[in-house]
Structure 1
Amino acid sequence: MENKIAVIGAGSWATALAVLLGNKGYCVNVWARDKLQVSDINTFRENRRYLPGVALPSSVTASVNIEEVLENSNLIVFGVPSHAFRETLKLSLPYISTEAAVVNTAKGIEEDGLYRLSEVFSQEAGKERLKQYVVLSGPSHAEEVGQYLPTTVVVASQELAMAEKVQEIFMTEMFRVYTNPDVIGVELGGSLKNIIALGTGIADGLGFGDNTKAALMTRGLAEITRLGIVMGANPLTFAGLAGVGDLIVTCTSMHSRNRRAGMEIGRGKSLEEAVASVKMVVEGIKTTRGAHKLAKKYRVEMPITAQTYAVLFEGLSPRTAVNNLMTRVKTHEVEEVALTKIEWMR
């Protein structure tokens, strides 16, 4: 049991983590729904669909039998999209030991109830099992982890011992892991940066430059922090790996699905056409809808999120959205973030 790890999902990030852990000597069982994908992985020792060119060590195998994958595993890594987390968790819970660490890598908000994924876990598993939950986030493209390029991430849990256990299991000379007790901040940072990446991608597609990108990233971080504060996050978390770190990599890299989708929208494609061109889940789309609702619920001003929402779902032209942002009423910079918590507490 000590050396067995289950990875639930067989996308690019789930596969990269399976490779990482397999190369450390752990026995890693990957679960996928698609029998053809499982057969392909086991036959060719590579996830040719989602992470081509990265060899799987012999200690990594795939299966469609979720009970078999989870049996006697002391660490379970969920690598499914955020919208599939609840359903997949329900399917998995009967086979997950109450002593196992449950590591969630999805970056999103459940749209219907506006729940963070730790809240989804608590609802399905029970509050008493929340001590098992660990969120892993930070600037980490699967393609680069699969190529053994230096990467740093953060893990957060309400139980420090559980976070440290996961830290120890994942750490390698090329994959550095930090711990953070702020589950709310780490989850929100990882989710909301995808909205800003869509926005910077749209700006890139319009042909704007580095100044525009820097402005969107910086002001995007400000509105992420504003919402995070009123939802109970530590504002310092957004200055770390799950905040500015993930924001930088997602807004600037061509590995970023959200940026690529935004670029296609900026070039004139419809939302559906942009998503089809990426050929993988673009988490920021659902997150934009969820964050737009959260901003209204908590009475937090999130202008970039609002304009991105209007472009994606209300037919607003990208150029008009940029003009709307540039011609907003004059305001201060630092004070508006610093006063958010004070105003919320009144």
Structure 2
Amino acid sequence: MEAIGTFLMDQVLKMQWLSDLIAGLLGAAGLDTASQWGGTLHFFIYDTIKIVILLCVMIFVISYIQSYFPPERSKRILGRFKGVGGNIAGALLGTVTPFCACSSIPLFIAFTRAGLPLGVTLSFLISSPMVDIASIILIMSIFGPHVAFIYTVVGLVIAVAGGTAIEHMGLADQVADFVRGEAVEADTSETMTRRDRVRYALGQTGETFRKVFPFILVGVAVGALIHNWIPQDVIEAVLGDGNPFAVVLATLIGAPIYADIFGTIPIAEALFQKGVGLGTILAFMMSVTVLSIPSLTMLSRVVRPKLLAAFVGVCLAGMIVSGYVFNWLQPFV
């Protein structure tokens, strides 16, 4: 069972086979993927294809299912996902989806299109890149079980609180119209054939792809450059000991970087060994995984500026407050 779980995690969800295939093709073309330019090209091609596959598969599946459920029926079924309970469910769902922030956006679109409340989908969007089972195990192996537990709890609290706060701001109308798709009327839904439903799902997938793809290219291109060209020692130098603004700086410095939690942990380990505060490290890791410029570039196509600003503001506030609290608590941990 463990081998099956590992296979599904690595080869199906993370698409490691795709990364290996692209690395092999680039190597055959004479490019060293360990070099900066080779690594940048590998990152760009792999992430673009991976995100497009996720986007198209998820939107097609959700749209096909949605063809059976007119808006009225969907609202009745999904009505149970309300309040903090729905946000907790969304945050916990994020822990079993090991995606970076950019890869989580197609699922955010799919869940929104399925009719889930905005707060629930945002709790998922915050939690998914920040906390997952594999990263928890890796953090535990490096920093110990207490740090892994703290990181997990803080991540889930921020996800639940962030989704809940934005839900109460009444910003549901700030999601782009194309994200919700074209609803199927009740009468039409009853008479559609399987071919009609496939055609409907393909149409919805194509429309979403056309709207989002340019932003995927821009976002991944920025991420590829940042991922391979920002030296780790620059980050470590800025977050030195005794700086009262270290948590704020860590959060702001982390935001432009594009990496998943696995790419962030080695930097966090180096910072930890240099005596940087635990709260500062937690804030940095969360900022890198949730608020990267590439992911926000893609998200800006999906939501309107007011909702984007609320999302960034709530996440930043949660990360900074948590960072200072856990720096203060570190002697007792």
Q: TM-score range by the shorter chain?
A: under 0.3
TM-score (norm 2): 0.26
Higher-strand-fraction structure: 1
Higher-helix-fraction structure: 2
TM-score (norm 1): 0.26
